[in-house]
Structure 1
Amino acid sequence: MLVPFLIMLREGLEAALVVGIVAGYLARTGRAAWLPAVWTGIFLALALSLFAGAGLQLASAEFPQGIQELFEALVGLVAAGMLTAMVLWMRRAARSMSSDLRASIDAALAGGSGRGVALIGLVFFAVAREGLESVFFLLALFQQSQGAAAPLGALLGIGVSAVLGYGIYAWGLRLDLKRFFRWTGVFILFVAAGLLAGSLRHLHEAGLWNGLQAVPFDLSGWLPADGPVGVVLAGLLGYVPDPTLGELIVYVLFLVASLTLFLKPAGGDTGAPRPAAAGL
């Protein structure tokens, strides 16, 4: 439950920040009449995400076993790629996101009769990106989890992110967004590493990958995957008590490469103090 909650909290907050920046800028510049276009873009993006998720889930239910394993491997690969790209993009873009969005709004509303469509498209693509990332992540997670805990955690994360996003927009709520995105980014990279290792496992079960199947260690005797600690570690870090050599290599190499890219100082960061909280 914790993993989908944290992922959806971050994804939802990113989308809420974008919407809040757009809505706040329109209101402050005397263009609040364009707010219906913002809500239209949000609705269309949510509809696309829901239809994409439902379609993929229904299609996968009809697959034979081998194709099902391949589908789960591909979903895991796509989810890991999207999560990693999102984390690295946010690290670069957070510094200028607000000014870039304002410039995009001005450009969208500077045209002629197509200004409403341009604004709808701006919001649609911004929110749809987060929605489709969430769809692939949740598909990968729901394929590995049983019961209602994961969906409930995802819904709770969306709800909390919506409340925080509205608080930032309407009440001037101050959050240490830089620290929030940094720590959740590290967490998401561990989740992505687990998804990659799981995809390699699914490829083996589909009969497409049979290399590096030796098991270098087995911790199931003292830290079983179905025990309380094992369940938490599996959800948070992708823990498997008896990984194959291939899964271990993929997990470690991905973490080393992605954490190095994510944690290195950003270009132009002089280390000077910056405001801890981001306003809109």
Structure 2
Amino acid sequence: MCLILFAVQHHPDWPLIVTANRDEFHKRPTEPAHYWKTTPPFLAGRDLQEGGTWMGIVPKPLYFAALTNFRDPFLKKNPAPSRGHIVEQALGSAEDTDSFLKKLKEEGAAFNGFNLICGTPEKLFYYSNQTEKSLVIPSGMHGLSNHLLDTPWPKVTRGCDMLDQALSKGAGEEDFFLLLQDRSIPKDRDLPDTGMGPEWERILAPLFIVNKLYGTRSSTVLRVHRSGEFFFTEISWDERGRETGRVRFTGQSGVRP
């Protein structure tokens, strides 16, 4: 996952709304979101190359987890375990989130840089192995890309503003997907410098990335209503930014410690 825009305890009817894009090489095999045969069963896509995932939920009681990579080619470890297994472990953990994150802090240095969001609509946590500190995410609007939480990259600030405006207008699911398809490229002076070089910084700068080698592979919208009902929809995209498939799941959630 490379962009997560989310509102937690920000809307009176929707305690958690997540809109997210997963950017990846097009040649990397992927399975769309589905229920995994795990205990507890959880809903997520699957990276068929390494076996992990980037975002998912345990439906009942509802528990959410998602991960982005921290982009810095100069800090890359090779070999390193797949970061997608962190989300898998978070969703499958029988421990409370504090205990899980404490264990993750002990093991986090083995992975390349990552950011993890996990928890319930009532209490979401953020952890990055670049800071080795975890925190409870305050209520409000937040954005996460390939740096730390709420780092003001153009795609993060633009995305959060667009999400806030959409919520204020009573937007529905399709409006959120339109938001995620924004292809605006910021001016060069506003681009982040992550060591990729100007050409790739431009390619990676929009919310929605279209490139024949690497781009937005899927978009996901998760909405959790105050009644406990959840809506999880994922759209898959090809290298030209064309929709190739859509899956949608609904259900009733609950409360997890």
Q: Which bin holds the TM-score, normalised by the shorter protein?
A: under 0.3
**What TM-score results when the alignment is normalised by the length of structure 1?**
0.23
- Choose between structure 1 and 2 for higher RCO, CA contacts under 8 A separated by at least 6 residues: 1
Q: Which has the larger radius of gyration?
A: 1
**What TM-score results when the alignment is normalised by the length of structure 2?**
0.25
The structure with the greater share of residues assigned to helix is: 1
